[in-house]
Amino acid sequence: MKKQYAVSLLVTSLVVIALAAVAGSGRTDNDIPAPPTIGTVIDDFKLPDADGKEHSLKSLAGSKGVVIMFIATKCPVSNAYNDRMEKLAQDYKAKGINVVGINSNNTEPAGEVKSHAAEKGLTFTILKDDGNKIADRLGATRTPEAYVLDANMKLVYHGRIDNSQKTEGITSEDLREALNEMLAGKAVTKTGGAAFGCTIKRVS
Amino acid sequence: MRLLLSIVLAVAFGVIAAQSQSSQAPSSNTSQNGALAGVASDITVVDLDGLKKLLQRDPKEARPLLVNFWATWCDGCREEFPDLVKIDDDYRTKGLSFLSVTVDELEDKRLAVSFIQEMKAKMPVVLLNVADKEPAIHTIDMNWDGALPATFIFDRTGAVVYRHFGKIKPEELRAAIDKEVSRKQ
Host H or E run for residue A57? helix A57-60
Residue B33 CB partners (closer than 8 Å, separation 6+): B89, B90, B92, B93
Query: CA nearest A197 in B: which residue?
Result: B147
User: Hey, where are the domains in chain A?
Assistant: 28-199
Residue A60 C-alpha, separation from nearest chain B C-alpha, in angstroms:
27
Say yes or no for a CB contact (<8 Å) between B74 and A21. no
Closest by Cα among A199, A103, A196, A67 to A142: A199
CA distance B132 to B54: 19
Query: Which residues of A fall below an 8 Å CB-CB distance to B?
Result: 3, 6, 9-10, 13-14, 16-17, 20-21, 23-24, 26, 28-30, 74, 76-77, 141-142, 145, 159-160, 163-166, 169, 171-172, 193-200, 202
Separation in Å, CA B60 to CA B124, B154, B157, B182: 20, 16, 11, 17
Candidate from B19, B147, B175 with C-beta closest to A197: B147
Which residues of chain B have a pLDDT value below 50? 1, 3-5, 7-37
- Closest-CA distance of chain B to residue A140, Å: 10
Instruction: Report which secondary-structure segment, H or E, holds A76.
Output: helix A76-80
Test B132 with A164 for CB contact under 8 angstroms: yes
**B164–A159 CB contact, under 8 Å:** no
Residue range B58-106, pLDDT digits in tens? 777 778 999 999 999 999 999 999 999 999 999 999 999 999 999 999 9
> A128-176 pLDDT, tens per residue?
999 999 999 999 999 999 999 999 999 999 999 999 999 999 999 999 9
What's the whole-number mean pLDDT along residues A103-116? Answer: 97
Determine, for residues A30 and B2 on separate chains, whether the beta-carbon distance falls below 8 Å.
Answer: no
CATH number of the domain located at residue range(s) A28-199 in this protein: 3.40.30.10
Radius of gyration of chain A (CA): 21
